[in-house]
């Protein structure tokens, strides 16, 4: 049986189910005992107590480092980094400890921790609270990078992340917290490394993830009314990457557009574009195109933000320019 939940409600439900299932799961972060700004940790304190639901000081390096230590000694911590922009403060425990511990210990020590974080814009938060940094995390061997776009995937991927033996960056989007969608009542998992085809088509492949996926689907539906036939792929996880899903689609359509909210320069779209052109160069009808944010800090002004960040009109324009060549 399926009902409608918001993205935040879906993760909250998964949190409750997983903490009830596994007593080694510990939740920690700033102000999480009150439910957090979007209610993702609501009810955890009342149900599981202060031994398992921990408010921390505003010290990202401190509590993320503590989570790494917990994970190395038999617990499964889920730490909340309120804004992904503060990733740099916790960079050493994430990049140099959690990501490399299995390698440094010759496989004897793993770090089964989840780092929940929010990225992207939410109207007027400015340059230091609106960044999309997934490409940096995907660059680090040893980290898994998860970016659900729908409430269904948010719940299923979170449950998979909590059960994983290695560190997982679970990246939520600020605008997606209250988006509703169907979520089954019965237990389920969504596997890592398995993309989803959100719309089948034959003329051009659009690859996207997280909040921008919604703009990609919207653009495809708008363009369908004008006779265009787009296939839209939701990656769901960047590491591991379902490369075969991308290649299979592009072999069919012979065209690829990649859309993401992160800055275009150095974004994860560049990695996908390079890989596709390496493997399918002779089968492409034209070069791969990327749509991303302009290479400037995200402005406070909503009018300027609308110019800087890619949304439905930007994808529509790029598709029409590609197919007009």
Q: Which residue ranges form the domains of the chain, and what is each CATH number?
A: 2-184 (3.40.50.970), 196-323 (3.40.50.920)
Q: How confident is the model at residue 155 (pLDDT cuts 50, 70, 90)?
A: very high
Q: What is the sign of the dihedral through the CA atoms of 72, 162, 40 and 198?
A: positive
Q: Kindly report the number of other CB atoms within 10 A of residue 216's CB atom.
A: 29
Q: Over range 310-320, report the average pLDDT.
A: 97
Residue 67 token pair? 């989570």
pLDDT band at 140 (very low <50, low <70, confident <90, very high): very high
Average pLDDT of the residues in 268-289: 97
Cβ 4 vs Cβ 178: under 8 Å: no
In angstroms and rounded to an integer, the radius of gyration of the C-alpha atoms of the chain is 20
Residue 216 has what pLDDT?
98
First to last CA, the chain: 47
Confidence tier at 164 by pLDDT (50, 70, 90)? very high
Which one, of 68, 3, 70, 79, lies nearest residue 36 by Cα?
79
pTM over 0.85: yes
Q: What is the mean pLDDT of the chain?
A: 96
Q: Once rounded to an integer, what is the mean pLDDT over residues 176-201?
A: 96
User: What average pLDDT does range 24-38 have in this prediction?
Assistant: 94
Question: Can you name the residues that pair with 199 across neighbouring β-strands?
Answer: 232
108 in catalytic set: no
DSSP state of 297: P
pLDDT of residue 112: 98
Burial 20-41 (b: 16+ CB within 10 A, else e): eeeeebbbbbbebbebbebbbb
Helix (H) or strand (E) holding 172: strand 168-173
- Average pLDDT for residues 312-322, to the nearest whole number? 98
At residue 122, the pLDDT reads 78
Model pLDDT, residue 166? 97
Q: What is the pLDDT of residue 1?
A: 83
pLDDT at 306: 87
pLDDT at residue number 124: 79
Q: What percent of the chain has pLDDT over 90?
A: 94
Q: Who has greater pLDDT, 322 or 176?
A: 322
Rounded Cα gap, residues 217 and 108, in angstroms: 44
The per-residue pLDDT for 266 is 96
Mean pLDDT of 150-178: 96
pLDDT tops 90 at residue 133: yes
Bridge pairing between strands 289-293 and 256-263:
parallel
pLDDT band at 109 (very low <50, low <70, confident <90, very high): very high
**Mean pLDDT computed over 221-227:** 97
Catalytic member of 129, 152, 260, 314: 129
**Rounded Cα–Cα distance for residues 106 and 92 (Å):** 20
C-alpha angle 288/130/299, rounded to 5°? 90
pLDDT at residue 178, rounded to an integer: 87
Query: Is residue 123 predicted with pLDDT exceeding 80?
Result: no
pLDDT at 325: 81
Report the pLDDT value the prediction gives residue 116, as an integer from 0 to 100. 97
Q: How many angstroms separate the CA atoms of 285 and 276, rounded?
A: 13
Comparing 133-137, 177-181, 189-193, which segment has the lowest mean pLDDT? Answer: 177-181
Tell whether the model's pLDDT for residue 240 goes beyond 80: yes
69: pLDDT strictly greater than 80: yes
Q: What percent of the chain has pLDDT over 70?
A: 100
């Amino acid at each position: 049986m399926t009902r409608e939940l918001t993205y935040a409600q879906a993760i909250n439900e998964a949190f409750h189910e997983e903490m009830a299932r596994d007593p080694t799961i510990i939740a920690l972060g700033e102000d999480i005992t009150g439910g957090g700004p979007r209610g993702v940790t609501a009810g955890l304190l009342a149900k599981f107590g202060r031994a398992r639901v921990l408010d921390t000081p505003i010290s990202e390096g401190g509590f993320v480092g503590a989570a790494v230590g917990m994970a190395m000694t038999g617990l499964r911590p889920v730490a909340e980094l309120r804004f992904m922009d503060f990733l740099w403060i916790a960079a050493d425990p994430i990049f140099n400890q959690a990501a490399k511990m299995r390698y440094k210990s010759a496989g004897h020590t793993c770090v089964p921790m989840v780092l929940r974080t929010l990225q992207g814009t939410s109207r007027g938060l400015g340059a230091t609270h609106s960044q999309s940094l997934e490409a940096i995390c995907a660059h680090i061997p040893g980290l898994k990078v998860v970016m659900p776009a729908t409430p269904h995937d948010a719940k299923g991927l979170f449950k998979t992340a909590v059960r994983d033996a290695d560190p997982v960056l679970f990246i939520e989007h600020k605008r997606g917290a209250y988006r509703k969608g169907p979520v089954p009542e019965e237990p389920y998992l969504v596997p890592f490394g398995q993309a989803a085809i959100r719309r089948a088509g034959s003329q051009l492949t659009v690859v996207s993830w997280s909040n921008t996926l919604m703009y990609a689907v919207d653009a495809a539906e708008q363009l369908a009314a004008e006779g265009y036939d787009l296939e839209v792929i939701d990656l769901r996880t960047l590491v591991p990457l379902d490369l075969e899903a991308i290649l299979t689609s592009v072999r069919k359509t012979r065209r690829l557009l990649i859309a993401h909210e992160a800055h275009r320069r150095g974004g994860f779209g560049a990695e996908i574009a390079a890989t596709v052109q390496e493997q399918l160069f002779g089968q492409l009808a034209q070069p791969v195109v990327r749509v991303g944010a302009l290479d400037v800090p995200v402005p406070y002004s909503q009018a300027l933000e609308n110019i800087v960040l890619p949304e439905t009109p930007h994808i529509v324009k790029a598709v029409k320019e590609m197919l007009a060549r």
